[in-house]
Chain A
Amino acid sequence: MSTALTITGLEIRRGSRQILNGVNLDVSPGEICGLFGASGAGKSTILRAVAALEPFTAGRIDFGDFSLQPGPVPKESRLHALRKRVGMVFQAHSLFEHLNALDNVTLAPVHAHGISRTRAGGDARALLNSLGVAHRADAYPRELSGGEVQRVAIARALAPGPMILLMDEPTSALDPARRGALGETLRDLAGQGRALLIATHDMEFARAYTDRQIILADGRVTAI
């Protein structure tokens, strides 16, 4: 079975600091891969490199029919294929504060992908509904609880229809009950054939809801 995402020999150096030192990993469609490690181990950096937010020094990130190379991050105009394929859910403060939940979700489909406002609105409501936050469609980020913020953020990342979903510390703002609900949501998303790469330091969550745990220390994969 072909992988959705393959990282080979990924190295990132910032000045004299070696942040990633030859990371290899891959994620298959339908798989939830947990990226585990202490804070500062480089989990978020890997996600940011895959999302083309961070340049890398050496190695290669492959998405099947296209790939990212070492060197500066390519211009946005050359990242269309990647942006449609890869969605990312940030740790905090990433919902657009001046837009309500629904508009947060429809912004990219309407403006970046040319989908009509009516269709994008319908799709967004369906997404919010599947994540259990349809009733909060008109609320602004500051009016949402931590769990609601996260579900709206997931809906927004899913709106362009990515088959790879990156999540940075998804459980950090959640109480234990909500963590379980999030885990079920992730299983559903993987069940639809998506590849999920999740950076977390919550080992309990990782064991319960990911198919595979990759442990990162000193910029290397130390255990799978």
Chain B
Amino acid sequence: MIAEGLNRRPQFVQVAWSSIEASAERGDFDVGMSGVEDRPALRARRAVTLPYFEFREVLAVRPEDRARVRRLADLQGRKVATLGSTMAYDLLLDAQREWGVVPVSYDDDVHPYSDLIAGRVDAVLLDHVIAERALRRTPGFVIQPEPVAIGHYVGVLAKNNAALRDSVNEILRARMRDGSLEKTFRAWSVWDDSQAKHFERVLSEAPPPGGVKDTRESGVSSITAYLPSLLRAAGVTALLSILSMAIAVSVGLGVAAGRVYGGRLVRAVLAISVEVIRGTPVLLQLFVIYYGLSGVVRLPAFAAAVIGLGLNYAAYESEIYRAALEAINRAQIEAARTLGLSEVQIFRLVRGPQALRLALAPMTNDFVALLKDSSLVSVITVVELTKQTAIYATNTGSWIVPGILCAAIYLAFSLPLSRFARRLERKWSTA
């Protein structure tokens, strides 16, 4: 409709929702649209069209909670799902401070509702168009009629593209007047009374109602606002990495011992498992553990993340330990045998300790890699350092300050570890 008004041929460019603004500024396309939320900060940074649609942030709850959970204030200490870096997510962060609501951030708008039905979260706060579409797809929850907030969708263009923005606005106004935009909205079943009122206001140039208070800042001044949440997320990353590594080391040791000492069947089963885990993406493994197994065992997101990363890295650790165990000189083991030590004692007192020395440096390197790979778990709703940085960057419209802070925190973890690994390598290589 807009392209037609501009006498241009529309071309669809697919980008991640949270990247629409940055992609428009880069020039990947002229107009970015798809539920881009109107915010003062966005208007300050980019060329933004007039609001073409009014949406309501609505709460979805399980049917049995219909009477009890009507507002965010009713959800003290409960988990509420939404999409990351949205107005709804900000509302939940406010609700967290005010009423102790626990926000859970998703990357897509399907899993929040399936997790609501499954009982993993207690409510979903999202735009009413998303909620209604989800309800048509998967019944089993109810949408509370009272909106939590009102917002508007806009198109976003690069800052220096204001002329094109003005043409787009003209077209939108014309289509609002002649009813063709209403027809389109009706065709998609998203037309209601509030849109009619909204169109009236837009055409009379009155300021739209509602909107959320926008406390977002950009640039260096945003550091004080976002640093605490970045540091908390860094804590999540550290805890996640340490727990995953603990699993990786213990399972890896067991697998390595099985592959070195076990019978043929044990060795074959372990070898195949290791190859399957090493040969498939950890992202896939996380999805399978969190969503795929949810019919059998409903793991909390953090536990699923620890188990997924832990098992994935266990495959790599087991190979390190196996190589280290096999690198121990046969004379060492035979000498221990002639001295009367049992196989278990030889493993515990001679072979294990020596193999550990060989394994320590590669293990440390793996831990650094794990620290960085832990950013993958945001796909199963765990908000760790990289995810928090992305939220920060989307909100402030720039990756520069968030990127530098995030990199600094990762380096603060990994540089000392890498140094430690290099020192170990030097120490044992002279041994």
Contacting pair A90 B341 (CB below 8 A): no
Contacting pair A93 B338 (CB below 8 A): no
Contacting pair A83 B332 (CB below 8 A): no
Number of interface residues of A (CB under 8 A): 31
Q: What chain B residues lie within 8 Å of A92 (beta carbons)?
A: 331
Partner of B332, one of A76, A77, A93, A142: A93
**In the complex, A96→B353 CA distance in Å?**
10
Residue of A nearest to B343 (CB): A76
Contacting pair B338 A111 (CB below 8 A): no
Contacting pair B337 A93 (CB below 8 A): no
Min distance, Cβ B283 to any Cβ of chain A, angstroms = 40
Identify which of residues 101-142 in chain A touch chain B, using a CB-to-CB cut-off of 8 Å.
107-108, 111-113, 140, 142
The reply on B329 being an interface residue by CB < 8 A is yes
Contacting pair A98 B354 (CB below 8 A): yes
Question: Contacts A83-B340, A111-B341; is A94 near B354 (CB within 8 Å)?
Answer: no
Residue of A nearest to B348 (CB): A111
The reply on A216 being an interface residue by CB < 8 A is no
Identify which of residues 314-372 in chain B touch chain A, using a CB-to-CB cut-off of 8 Å.
329, 331-332, 334-343, 345, 349-350, 353-354, 357
Partner of A94, one of B331, B345, B349, B431: B331
Partner of A96, one of B332, B342, B431: B332
Partner of A97, one of B341, B345, B354: B354
Q: What chain A residues lie within 8 Å of B353 (beta carbons)?
A: 98
The reply on A80 being an interface residue by CB < 8 A is yes
Main secondary structure of the interface of B (DSSP, over half): helix
Contacting pair A160 B335 (CB below 8 A): no
Q: What chain B residues lie within 8 Å of A113 (beta carbons)?
A: 340
**In the complex, A107→B346 CA distance in Å?**
10
Contacting pair A98 B357 (CB below 8 A): yes
Q: A76, A84, A86 — which one has the most chain B CB atoms within 10 A of its CB?
A: A76
The reply on A10 being an interface residue by CB < 8 A is no
Contacting pair A90 B331 (CB below 8 A): yes
Contacting pair A88 B335 (CB below 8 A): yes
**In the complex, A89→B102 CA distance in Å?**
67
Residue of A nearest to B338 (CB): A88
Number of interface residues of B (CB under 8 A): 20
Question: Contacts A93-B331, A94-B331, A98-B354; is A86 near B342 (CB within 8 Å)?
Answer: no
Min distance, Cβ B327 to any Cβ of chain A, angstroms = 12
Q: A88, A91, A93, A94 — which one has the most chain B CB atoms within 10 A of its CB?
A: A94
Question: Contacts A53-B338, A83-B340, A94-B332; is A142 near B431 (CB within 8 Å)?
Answer: yes
Contacting pair B337 A76 (CB below 8 A): yes
The reply on A32 being an interface residue by CB < 8 A is no
Residue of B nearest to A54 (CB): B334
Q: What chain B residues lie within 8 Å of A87 (beta carbons)?
A: 338-339
Residue of B nearest to A91 (CB): B331
Partner of A80, one of B335, B338, B340, B349: B340
**In the complex, A111→B332 CA distance in Å?**
16
Contacting pair B340 A77 (CB below 8 A): no
Min distance, Cβ A153 to any Cβ of chain B, angstroms = 8
Q: What chain A residues lie within 8 Å of B350 (beta carbons)?
A: 96, 107
Min distance, Cβ A105 to any Cβ of chain B, angstroms = 10
Question: Contacts A96-B332, A97-B354; is A84 near B342 (CB within 8 Å)?
Answer: no
Question: Contacts A80-B340, A160-B340; is A90 near B334 (CB within 8 Å)?
Answer: yes
The reply on A51 being an interface residue by CB < 8 A is yes
10 interchain pairs, CB-CB under 8 A: A51-B338, A79-B340, A84-B340, A93-B332, A94-B334, A96-B336, A97-B431, A98-B354, A112-B341, A156-B335
- In the A-B complex, list the 9 residue pairs whose CB atoms are closest, starting with the nearest: A83-B340, A108-B339, A112-B340, A94-B335, A94-B331, A88-B338, A93-B331, A112-B341, A98-B353
